[in-house]
Structure 1
Amino acid sequence: MYIPKSFQLRDPDIIETLLREHSFATLVTQQGGDICASHVPLVYRPDEGALYGHLAKANPQAEHLRDGRCLAIFQGPHAYVSPSWYGMEEQVPTWNYLAVHVYGRAHLVQESEAVADLLHLLLVAYEPQSRLPADRDRAYYRNLMRGIVAFRIDIERMEAAAKLSQNKPMEARRRVAATLASMDDEGARGVARWMQQLSVNDANLSFSPSKEERSHGT
């Protein structure tokens, strides 16, 4: 992923937050000449350096997950930014966003108890009070398990971007954040929250942009 220096995100805690809050990922694989993508929830386990998920057995992409390399794309909030919001001349439209690309190697989880454990992990992540894990030994649950392909992705590297107007003066960034926060759009308000938490208030994300980055909106 192309990430100008001003927009590179390296803080592992912030990256973990993004992966947890925006865990419905796009999983991309390639086998031979075929490129496949599926939209799936993936649970991040930083202590293991791994992602966990499953596909329907009927999904042809499942065959790509037998020790195959893959890319999981996590898209955070994003929003259009008008040049009129900066209070500066000679600006151009752009888009603010957060995203994480996770590269790794996928492995199938095939032993039945390991699959049940993986499903328990996914259920607890999204519905801690779910009664389904208690049903793991019932026949209907085991029958449903046979219709999925469970997998683990061993993470090789991550690339994260937080494009939150860091290449603009602080006052311009505050104007953008305030405008986005006032909009009747969940994505815009989400970007505003991140700008208020990071770009506007956190010196770690207040970079001095290069000449090239000052000249380009993206």
Structure 2
Amino acid sequence: MYPSSHYHFENLDFLAQIVKASPLATFITYFEGEIYSTPLPFILKDDTLLAHIDKQNPQASHLSQVPILLHFHLADTYISPQDYSSAQQLPTWNYIKAQVWGKAEILPPTQIVPSLIAQTTSFEGKKENTFILSEDNEKMQRYKNYITAFAVKIEKYEVRLKLSQDKNEADREKALQKMLQNANPNYRELIKNLQMQGIKV
């Protein structure tokens, strides 16, 4: 079976954590014999992903007509055999990623501003001196007519956590430390959550 079952999770909570930690997805469509791809940030609301796209982007004209594929990437790293404690290992690449398949619905013009505010609020987080995007923001009001807000209803998703789960505890810890060397705080928080839920990482 591909991917191996110990790397493959159908857990909406894991998906939500990945989208929150790394919202910039590769937005992929196939239309009239051509593949289109754009990096777009998304937020997850229940089982729906929200985003917006420039109306001049070719994908804006067909996104509601075709299936959607989104690829979220959180973290990855090369694992050398020298990174493990035990001998006779092979090189590999560990990663945390998620793929989402769905159908897009264009939101009405009245939902553009609320959608932009919701996305900005999510991306700003809870840091000090948080920027607040208000409804009467003049620049947003000028530019809202040049974008299309849309929602992707999730039909299927896969969370892939390849974290040396097939290795012994000592090797898993070595691989985890290698990943953490270049990881952002969001990745560390996800690892903590996975460990609390009994996932061997």
TM-score range, shorter chain: 0.7 to 0.9
1:126 matched to 2:123: yes
Could you say which residue in structure 1 is the equivalent of 2:76?
Answer: 78
Mapped to 1, the partners of 2:19 and 2:35 lie a distance apart of 23
8 Å contact kept, 2:14–2:159: no
8 Å contact kept, 1:101–1:159: yes
Could you say which residue in structure 2 is the equivalent of 1:211?
Answer: none
Could you say which residue in structure 1 is the equivalent of 2:136?
Answer: 135
Offset of residue 92 of structure 1: 0.9
8 Å contact kept, 1:68–1:107: no
Could you say which residue in structure 2 is the equivalent of 1:205?
Answer: 199
Offset of residue 107 of structure 1: 1.3
1:45 matched to 2:45: yes
Q: Give unmatched runs, 5+ long, in structure 2.
A: none
Partner amino acid, structure 1, of 2:27 = L
User: What are the Cα deviations for residues 128-162 of structure 1, in whole angstroms up to 9, with x where unaligned?
Assistant: 643432315x5x53331111111111110111100
Mapped to 1, the partners of 2:93 and 2:35 lie a distance apart of 27
Could you say which residue in structure 2 is the equivalent of 1:98?
Answer: 96
Offset of residue 9 of structure 1: 2.0
Give the secondary structure class of the aligned counterpart of 2:114: helix
User: What are the Cα deviations for residues 77-119 of structure 1, in whole angstroms up to 9, with x where unaligned?
Assistant: 111111112222221111110011010001111x321112211
Offset of residue 176 of structure 1: 2.2
Partner amino acid, structure 1, of 2:134 = P
Offset of residue 32 of structure 1: 1.4
Runs of 4+ in 1 over 6 A off after TM superposition: 189-193
Identity %: 25
8 Å contact kept, 1:30–1:36: yes
Offset of residue 35 of structure 1: 0.6
Mapped to 1, the partners of 2:186 and 2:104 lie a distance apart of 31
- State the number of aligned residues: 196
Q: Give unmatched runs, 5+ long, in structure 1.
A: 208-218
Q: CA RMSD in A?
A: 2.4
Mapped to 1, the partners of 2:109 and 2:197 lie a distance apart of 48
Distance 1:164 1:195, change over 3 A: farther
Offset of residue 123 of structure 1: 1.6
After superposing the two structures, state which structure 1 stretch, 140-149 or 165-174, moved more.
140-149
Mapped to 2, the partners of 1:195 and 1:131 lie a distance apart of 30
Mapped to 1, the partners of 2:134 and 2:146 lie a distance apart of 17
Offset of residue 192 of structure 1: 6.8
Give the secondary structure class of the aligned counterpart of 1:125: helix
**TM-score normalised over the length of structure 1:** 0.80
Offset of residue 180 of structure 1: 4.1
